């Protein structure tokens, strides 16, 4: 059910040669990130930075990688509540070390959503999130995702019923509204709080915008000022500087990071004042990521999935475009990792320095 296209999702950065990164010697220009404690219902997060739901990407292996680097809460990609009730364990399993986890559901039938949420709680979810922001036509066609923001009375019925069914925390993830003439994030947030929702996650773009333009962080501040429950801001955070900036400018309690974590799960640890990853660390995490994928999906599927992650992990490194071209035709694990090792040996010899963060201001975003 994913309709997000990684290639055209609109997050742009200042380019170096073939990259989105700038080079400098190992850097200490990391922001002093205030470590606010966020509590969502009865769930206390170890960090205010959370991994966004990303269908097809924020799976068990990637959630583990992000958590080990400091992310305070990770979400599943959106799941059809009806499909979940039909397929149950074949659709969703929660591993013992995959916590804290919030299961994101989409749907439009209050009863089905409540039942699916209850099942997620039974199998160990720490929280449930209802998707009210997905702009994909398959989701909207079901009266779900952002379509719900057009029907506040339906939102009310859904949230009342899901809240009654659940003991664990409940959040909603919304956008600004349908289009710029129908911005109703504040109205929906107040209503959600009234229904007993424990947190609001806001990605301040409209349905019509999809991923275009800039996320309007002012709206995060407006939502924060309108409800007493935690508000997690989301949109265009691709460095730890921007995470801090979003919290400072909007007063939001936490920051959700999506595209900025692709190939850069260190974004969670950078914000906790850890050093930027060396080439060795980058290579180590790529190998770890593959072994997690392999034990989760099996070798063949893991080979397919690791390729796009490797593309993200190496984005911006010297000669990475030609390296990826070579890599993507390989099918055997040994040859694949052999090529990665020779590439990293080559860049370590050629570039005795590390990646540095992008500039801290919003200008890096197209």
Ligand X SMILES: Cc1cc2nc3c(=O)[nH]c(=O)nc-3n(C[C@H](O)[C@H](O)[C@H](O)COP(=O)(O)O)c2cc1C
Can residue 133 be called a binding residue for ligand X (CB under 6 A)?
yes
Phi, psi angles (nearest 5°) of residue 292: -70, -40
* CB 102, CB 143: distance < 8 Å: no
Q: Which of 68, 74, 132 is nearest to 103 (CA)?
A: 74
Radius of gyration of the chain (CA): 20
Minimum distance between the CB of residue 262 and ligand X, rounded to whole angstroms?
8
Q: Active site residue: 71, 134, 195, 252, which one?
A: 134
- Quickly count: other Cβ atoms within 10 Å of residue 236's Cβ: 25
Give the binding range for ligand X (CB under 6 A) out of 52-60, 153-161, 245-253, 331-339: 52-60
| Catalytic-residue membership of 134 | yes
Q: Contact with ligand X (CB under 6 A): which of 63, 67, 173, 244?
A: 173
Distances (CA, A) of 134 to 137, 144, 199, 257: 9, 8, 18, 16
Give the binding range for ligand X (CB under 6 A) out of 2-10, 80-88, 163-171, 303-311: 2-10
Phi, psi angles (nearest 5°) of residue 325: -60, -45
Q: Contact with ligand X (CB under 6 A): which of 258, 263, 277, 318?
A: 258
| DSSP designation for 77 | P
Q: Which of 228, 101, 129, 235 is nearest to 175 (CA)?
A: 235
Q: Contact with ligand X (CB under 6 A): which of 185, 197, 200, 257?
A: 257
Three-class DSSP category at 335: helix
Q: How many residues bind ligand X (CB under 6 A)?
A: 25
Can residue 293 be called a binding residue for ligand X (CB under 6 A)?
no
Can residue 78 be called a binding residue for ligand X (CB under 6 A)?
yes
Can residue 113 be called a binding residue for ligand X (CB under 6 A)?
no
Can residue 54 be called a binding residue for ligand X (CB under 6 A)?
yes
Question: With respect to ligand X, which residue has the nearer C-beta, 6 or 92?
Answer: 6
Can residue 92 be called a binding residue for ligand X (CB under 6 A)?
no
Question: With respect to ligand X, which residue has the nearer C-beta, 10 or 196?
Answer: 10
Can residue 55 be called a binding residue for ligand X (CB under 6 A)?
yes
Question: With respect to ligand X, which residue has the nearer C-beta, 9 or 319?
Answer: 9
Question: With respect to ligand X, which residue has the nearer C-beta, 106 or 343?
Answer: 106
Question: With respect to ligand X, which residue has the nearer C-beta, 4 or 276?
Answer: 4
Q: What is the dihedral of CA 74, 23, 243, 60, to 10 degrees?
A: 0
Q: Which of 302, 218, 311 is nearest to 262 (CA)?
A: 311
Question: With respect to ligand X, which residue has the nearer C-beta, 17 or 179?
Answer: 179
Paired sense of beta strands 170-177 and 199-206, if any: parallel
**Segment 208 to 247, residues that bind ligand X, using CB under 6 A:** 234-237
Distance CA 253, CA 274 (A): 21
Question: Site residues (CB under 6 A) for ligand X?
Answer: 2, 4, 6, 9, 52-55, 57, 77-78, 104, 131, 133-134, 173, 203, 234-237, 257-260
Residues belonging to the active site: 134
């Amino acid at each position: 059910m994913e309709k997000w296209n990684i290639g055209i999702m609109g997050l742009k950065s200042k380019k170096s040669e073939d990259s989105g990164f700038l080079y400098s010697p190992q850097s200490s220009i990391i922001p002093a990130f205030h470590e606010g404690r966020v509590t969502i219902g009865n769930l206390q997060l170890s960090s205010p930075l959370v991994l966004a739901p990303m269908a097809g990407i924020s799976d068990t292996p990637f959630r583990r990688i992000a958590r080990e680097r400091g992310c305070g809460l990770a979400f599943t990609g959106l799941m059809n509540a009806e499909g979940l009730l039909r397929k149950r364990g074949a659709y969703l399993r929660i591993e013992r070390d995959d916590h804290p986890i919030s299961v994101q559901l989409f749907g439009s039938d209050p009863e089905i959503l409540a039942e699916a949420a209850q099942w997620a709680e039974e199998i160990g979810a720490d929280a449930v999130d209802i998707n009210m922001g997905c702009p994909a036509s398959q989701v909207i066609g079901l009266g779900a995702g952002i379509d719900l923001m057009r029907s506040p009375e339906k939102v009310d019925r859904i949230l009342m019923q899901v809240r009654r069914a659940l003991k664990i925390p409940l959040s909603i993830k919304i956008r600004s509204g349908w289009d710029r003439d129908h911005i109703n994030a504040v109205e929906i947030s107040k209503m959600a709080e009234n229904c007993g929702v424990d947190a609001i996650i806001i990605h301040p773009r409209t349905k019509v915008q999809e991923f275009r333009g800039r996320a309007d962080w002012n709206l995060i501040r407006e939502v924060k000022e309108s409800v007493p429950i935690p508000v997690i801001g989301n949109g265009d955070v691709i460095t730890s500087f921007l995470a801090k900036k979003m919290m400072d400018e909007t007063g939001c309690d936490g920051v959700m990071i999506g595209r900025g974590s692709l190939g850069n799960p260190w974004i969670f640890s950078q914000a906790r004042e850890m050093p930027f990853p060396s080439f060795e660390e980058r290579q180590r995490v790529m190998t770890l990521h593959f072994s997690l994928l392999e034990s989760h999906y099996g070798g063949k599927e893991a080979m397919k999935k690791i390729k796009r992650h490797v593309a993200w992990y190496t984005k911006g490194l010297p000669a990475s475009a030609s390296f990826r071209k070579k890599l993507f035709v390989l099918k055997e694990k040994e040859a694949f990792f052999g090529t990665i090792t020779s590439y990293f040996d080559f860049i370590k010899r050629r570039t005795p320095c590390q990646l540095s963060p992008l500039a801290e201001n919003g200008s890096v975003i197209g």
